[in-house]
Amino acid sequence: MARHVGAPTIIDALDFTNSFFRYTYSKGYEFVVAQLPTFWGAFFALTDQMWFLPVFRAIRRLYNGVNAARLVAYLKEGQFDRIVVTHFLAAEVCGHLRRTGRIKGKLVVIVTDFDVHKIWLIEGVDEYCVASPYTKERLIAYGVDAARIFVTGIPLDEKFTQVRDKSITRRKLGLEADAFTVLVSTSSFGFGPIEELAEYFKSLQVIIISGHNKKLYERLLARKNPRHKICSFVDNMEEMMAVADVMVTKPGGLSVTEALANHLPLVFFSAIPGQEAGNVRVLAANGIGLSGMPLRDLASEVLGLAASPLALEAARQKTRVLAKPNSVGDIITRLV
């Protein structure tokens, strides 16, 4: 939120880094989690060790200082009254400027997973907004003052909280109005056992979103199952969630938040070691989500929900424990 009166300024921090860093930062992560998940899990675990934190902080300060110089200049010039960040890269840069006195505005960091990695422990942060009481307790255990941590939920677009008539929206999407509907959503990278799930759910009405994986999209279309709606990358996920009875997905923080706002029972596959595995753990502790079993058994659980309205409603009720549909409004109250 800038000093002038008007709409807040919204930027992507990566747009203020050099082109090589920007490309390798996103594409490198995509490659590692898809092709080297064990390596990613080991790296995630190493950097989450308290004894390693000083070393990791020094390394981050060095490469962020080199690669995010334009972001530093932008923040120093803007001298914003409030700075809200949702990624640890920007949080580290802002925290360094805050504690060295080069920016004065209030710094609010939003942790965008239900568990919390120590990469989020940054000196110079005024307040943390977190997804759940568990997230808050983790930060407290790491030494963050409880008075600076607020359980607001992860911010989500208000379109995911709008009430929609399920039958009408299904017809709009070309679906049977009264059929039990499963939403299968891979990551934007388009990996996971999607074709196996399509086979297990061949008798159900299913929406399958294949992300940017064109080959997967074409193979799914070739199955020619009239009860399966096959989509590539979509911009109306709020409608997809509104028509679904169950969501089968990867446990990313934002997608889980959006599903919880719609009270969707969740089934997880192919959790990335690290942050997604942590999300699964926190959700499971609150009775939300199914994971950690063979794919056949996960599919069987979904079929069981399709056959039992009572079990389905019980699963929906459990999502209310962590649902935070008013997260954006609660975060805004921290800024005024």
Percent of the chain that is helix, strand, coil (3-state, to 5):
50, 10, 35
The share of the chain scoring above pLDDT 90, in percent, equals 82
312, 265 Cβ separation under 8 angstroms: yes
pLDDT, averaged across the chain: 92
Laid out side by side, the sheet with 246-249 consists of 228-231, 205-209, 181-185, 246-249, 266-268
For the chain, give every domain's residue range. 13-151, 158-319
**Closest alpha carbon to 296 in 209, 199, 225:** 199
The pLDDT value given to residue 245: 97
* pLDDT 10s digits, 65-100: 999 999 999 999 999 999 999 999 999 999 999 999
CATH 3.40.630.30 fits 158-319, yes or no: no
> What's the confidence (pLDDT) of residue 4?
44
Say if residues 135 and 155 touch (Cβ distance below 8 Å).
no
What does pTM read for this prediction?
A: 0.91
Q: Taking phi first (over 0 means left), then psi (-120 to 50 degrees means alpha), and beta for anything else, what does residue 263 get?
A: left
* Low-confidence residues of the chain: pLDDT under 70: 1-6, 188-190
What proportion of the chain, given as a percentage, has pLDDT over 70?
97
